[in-house]
């Protein structure tokens, strides 16, 4: 069984943790400090998950989900996730988050910059382009005509692994080759915040890439 460590207990983290638990994964959740502070949140919002110190949770995890505010990333310790597969759910959207020096470089997508900083981890971008309030509601079983597609961008092997988790959660996936292609999933991009089937998603991103 894949063990997932979700980092972040804000708007997004607990929702991801919950859908992962419901898909049968072994899930822990961590904030920046003492797990006692998020114990109640975990019990009520993510029953079945364990609140843990980030370092302990990551050490035991096969997959780390990074759901912290982007402005906290500049001080996030890369050693914490060295050697790990990291799912980057974060967005850089200056009108909402303000301009951030580390990410203020339009030659690169935000996940490319995350990968550069987390040089000893393997970064995959997904789950960033649908609202956290939709993540649980919009799940559908395989084959449902309403099943939404999510983009998963990164290196081939890592993407296959993460896409498997996303599909178990209740979404189709469209695999994008390389984090560079992950820029298509960013705020302001063609699929951001839009509910699309796999076919619609594929034609939208190929139209954009062309």
Q: Which residue lies nearer to another protein by CB, 23 or 136?
A: 136
Beta-sheet strand order (sheet of 26-30): 50-51, 26-30, 3-7, 63-66, 85-88, 122-125, 149-154, 172-177
Residue in the shown chain whose Cβ atom is closest to ligand NAP = 10
Q: Which of 83, 95, 141, 145 lies at the binding interface for another protein (CB under 8 A)?
A: 95
Contact between 187 and another protein by CB under 8 A: the answer reads yes
Residue linked to tokens 């961590």: 30
Which partner, another protein, ligand NAP, none, binds residue 89 by CB below 5 to 8 Å per kind?
A: ligand NAP
Quick one: CA dihedral 178, 180, 181, 185, positive or negative?
positive
In the stretch 102-131, what mask flags binding to another protein with x, by CB under 8 A? Answer: -----------------------------x
Residue among 14 and 109 whose Cβ is closer to another protein = 14
* Cβ neighbours around 73 below 10 Å, total: 20
Distance CA 11, CA 143 (A): 29
- Residue 46: CB partners within 8 Å, gap ≥ 6? 14, 17, 18, 21, 27, 29
Is residue 170 within 8 A of residue 164, CB to CB? The reply is no
Q: Which listed residue (195, 197, 200, 202) binds another protein by CB under 8 A?
A: 195
Phi (first) and psi of residue 85, to 5 degrees: -85, 120
Tell me how far, at minimum, the Cβ of 152 lies from another protein, in Å: 19
Name the site residues for ligand NAP (rule: CB under 6 A): 7-13, 30-33, 54, 67-70, 72, 76, 89-91, 127-128, 131-132
Q: Which residues bind another protein (CB under 8 A)?
A: 9-11, 14, 38, 40-41, 43-45, 69, 71, 91, 93, 95-98, 100, 131-134, 136-137, 187, 192-195
């Amino acid at each position: 069984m894949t063990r997932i460590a979700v980092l972040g207990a804000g708007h997004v983290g607990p929702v991801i943790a919950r859908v992962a638990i419901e898909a049968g994964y072994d899930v822990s959740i961590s904030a920046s400090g003492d797990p006692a502070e998020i114990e109640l949140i975990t019990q009520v919002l993510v029953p079945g998950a364990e609140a843990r110190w980030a370092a302990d949770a990551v050490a035991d995890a096969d997959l780390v989900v990074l759901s912290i505010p982007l402005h906290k990333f500049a001080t996030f310790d890369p050693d914490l996730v060295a050697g790990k597969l990291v799912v980057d759910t974060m967005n850089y959207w200056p009108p909402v988050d303000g301009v951030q020096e580390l990410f203020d470089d339009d030659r690169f997508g935000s996940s490319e910059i995350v990968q550069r900083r987390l040089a000893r981890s393997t970064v995959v971008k997904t789950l960033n382009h649908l609202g956290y309030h939709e993540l649980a509601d919009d799940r559908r079983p395989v084959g449902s005509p309403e099943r939404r597609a999510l983009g998963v961008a990164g290196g081939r092997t890592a993407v296959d692994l993460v896409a498997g988790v996303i599909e178990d959660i209740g979404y189709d996936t469209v695999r994008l080759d390389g984090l560079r292609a992950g820029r298509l999933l960013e705020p302001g991009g063609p699929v951001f915040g839009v509910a699309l089937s796999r076919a619609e998603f594929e034609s939208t991103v190929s139209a954009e890439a062309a």
